[in-house]
Structure 1
Amino acid sequence: NPKKLGTRIAELESQLGLAQEELKSLKDQLSTTTPPPKKSEKVEEKEDSADRFGTPPDESLDEEEFKSIPVSVESIGSEKNAMSDEICSLKIKLEEKDGEILFFRQQNETLKFQLDEKSAGISLAVSEIEQLKSRLSRVTQELEISGNNEAQIRERMKAAEKAKQDMENEMRRLTVQTEQWRKAADAAAAVLSGGADAANCRRISERCGSMDSAHYMNSLSRIGSPPIIYDDVFGSEKRKGSSGIRMLGELLKKKAQK
């Protein structure tokens, strides 16, 4: 998480600052360490006089001076050892702090690198999300367009189905009418040939009589097609055909009666 990484970096920087302050304090403490004790004033005066007059110092020191010299040497040695130990301890602490500072710096660099990677990943994810939103918008628009096209196609299919049904009904009507015309033509051919007897003429007239308007409508209802009301053109043709069939039927009836 970038937020956690930022918090961790802040903590490491705070620890690094504390370590640097402690290191500075140790350096100040090392620089202010007590210097070795000076020689006694009497010894210094004698050494100075010997150097000044070119004569060796008088070795005839009093008893107090002889007693104080070993004590001073011992105290200087002990203080020197103590200082050496303290210096070593301070050096060790200084090295430890240097190591901690180096570790904190390395960890800080690592966390910064991870933070940069996470930031780059977040930027890439945001870009991909924007692309997906754009694609989703395009797909939604395409679906809306295809839905409208589908509705139009359904309307066209319904219109085509209705036109097909009308054509089938018209074909049934024409089939029945054609059959009537064929029967009338056969009857007329028989009458004109003169080879039909009275019984045949009567049967032909009955057959022709079955082709009037009422029988035609009943035949349509028997084959399952509803009665169709046609326009003036088909109505006029139907009336002409029916009148011709009726005239032919009456002619055949008269011939049969004779």
Structure 2
Amino acid sequence: MQTPKPRSGSSEVPQRTSPITPRTRTAKSGDNECNSATSATSTRTSTERSPKVIMRRSPRSPVTEKHPTRLSELETQICQLKEDAKKTREQLSSSETCKKRVQQEVEEAKKQLEDMSTKLDDSQRRLIEFSAAEEARLQELRKISQERDRTWQSELEAIQKQHTVDTAALGSAMNEIQRLKVQLEVVLKSEAAYLKQSETASTELQVLKQEMTETLATVENLKVQLRDSKKSEAEARALFDETCRQLEMSKTTIETLRSEGSTLKESFSVKASDLEESRTEVDSLEEVKNLITDKYNEEVHCGKSSEKTSGNPLETEVEQLRSALEAAEIKYQADQIQSTMQVWSAYELMERVKSDCGVKETELELALSNAKAEIAELKAKLVDKEAEHQQIADNKELSADDGEVREAQLLSELESKFMKSTNDIADLKANLMDKETELQNILEENETLKSEMSKREVENRRSSEATIAELELSKAAEQDAIIRLAYVTEESDKNSRRAARVAEQLDAAQAVTSQMEFELKRLRIQCDQWRKAAEAAASILSSSNNGGNMERTGSLDSDYNSIAGKLMSSPFSDDLNEESLKKKNNNVLRKIGGLWKKSQK
């Protein structure tokens, strides 16, 4: 008989003891008990019979023993023999019962062997079916793994393409922001390094983190610069507003000074004309005085007293006119001094612009009022002089008849002088009209200057608005660049995360494939062990059928126990092992489904 080899993989499958093995063991133990009982009885009978022989032989030798002792001994021996016979009968009956039991057990063992042979056939069929199903599953799993690998490779290629597109976008954005961001050169260098070292995901993530920190620092610096630029813009606007206000104030002061200068010129010209008129009048009055003095001297020689009375008021009038002329000259000089002082003060006001505008305006108004008052006084004096001339003419008419011709001449001269004075007044009025026209021209020039200044202000405003618009455009460009940077950084982070996910999925797939390969190896080993066990069982059955009945009963227990242990260690001895394999397969399929869902996400 061939002894089956012990199976190495039997420890992995849970072993179960069959309900038949204890019977065989009990039968064996019963048989052993019967054999031991028979051996014990035989030994006892042999030992008990040996003294019987001795006792039978011993009385022959001595002659002195008596007959009653022999009878008692024989009776005791007979009793013992009866007891021994009873015991042997009992032992025989027990041995027969044991034989019957053994025969029954042998029959049961034969039945069990037949059942086991049928089970072995079923197990072989199941093994074949299971091997075919496992091979189909393995092929399906290989196909699924290959498809997964292809899909993951395509996803990796798509991610790499997206990564290249993102890096190109990063390069364009960084090129656009180079003017405003000098510190982003480090980021461009890191991006180039990132493009070169795209194979190693861990190093890329570290570089991207460093780049993100640097970009955040640069963005913060740019924000600070933007705040500083906003502050500088506000300060520039404030300065621009202040300069505009100063220009407006200077314009107003210039206009006021021009108007004041024009009024001063007019007053100066009026005063000069008045002084010239007063000088001409003084000269004419001196001539009249000389004539009157000559006439008075002639009348003195003639002895007329009437001329004395007429000469005295003329002298007084001449003296009054001289005093008036001197006062007018003094006033003219004072006015000239005042006008020069006003001109100098005007120039000083032009330099100061803001501080003395109100004071100068009040001074100019006072000067104008004084000039107007002086003009009014001069006009009043002219009117008085005309009245005095008329009085003189009337007095001359009332004077002596002898001097009528002279008086007529004097009157004609006075009339001519009066006409001259009226002509001079008309000329003065014409000069006033000319000056008014000049004032209008000056006002028009001032208006043109105002329009030019307004145009310049509009141009300055436009230029300032253009600069503000340019600044706003630059700010918008900076904001767009910052937004693009944030978008590109987010996309790079997403790509890095995708790469990490794909790497994790690849690692998980590799782990799953390694587990599947390990399980396949283990299943192959188990299949080989199952085949060996089946072959051993078949050989044992064939040898048991060819052998004798007594050898079957003797070696049945050990062979049966070995076969039962091997078969019970196999996964097909019980449905639980099949359920455990199904659970393992389901777990593997669940892992694959989870990885597939992650890859789709």
- The normalised TM-score by structure 1 is 0.47
Larger Rg: 2
Select the structure that is richer in helix: 2
Q: TM-score, normalised by structure 2?
A: 0.24
